[in-house]
Amino acid sequence: MTVPDQSASPFRVVFVCTGNICRSPMAEVVFRHLAERAGLGHAVVSSSSGTGDWHVGERADQRTLAALERRGYDGSAHRARQFTPDAFEENDLIIALDRTHERILRHWAQHDNHRDRISLLTSFDPSALGPDVADPYYGDDRAFDDALGMIESASRALFRQLEPAIRPPRHGGLV
């Protein structure tokens, strides 16, 4: 994983799932919330995209929006996008929501430095129940709540790992 350069532009992370209407929008919103709550909203850009183009331009699935709202998040501004090769250069970290996405992204990466930016979200969370955040699309509200719970836990773990490198150094002592 690349460590952010504190003198550079904001650290950019993109979360990737299949259609960009369920899991990755949840992760984008949760991670942005964590950065803002830590006073680092200016230092982190959180986005999301999908490996497929089926939903480009659409809002997040209504069940995604409802699950986010039940936990106090607002996903209403989300519009689905497809992951493009440019995203490898535009982002410091590319987070896959399951192993299928990770394999697709590694296949699409043209260079080792692009592959080095790809991680599986659950890899940051030692308490994760498995390597994949299950796709809730064909499930009920509980499946969306369960997916969001896994995303929250793993996103907190990811943020804890990144925060020291993102947070500007404190200047102390005598002037």
Catalytic residues: 17, 23, 135
Q: Are strands 44-50 and 118-120 parallel, antiparallel or unpaired?
A: unpaired
Contact 154, 122 (CB under 8 A): yes
Residues 34 and 80: their CA atoms lie apart, in Å, by 21
Could you tell me the sign of the dihedral formed by the alpha carbons of 121, 31, 92, 144, in that order?
A: positive
Nearest to 21 by CA among 79, 94, 103, 99: 79
In the block, tokens 């394999």 appear at 103
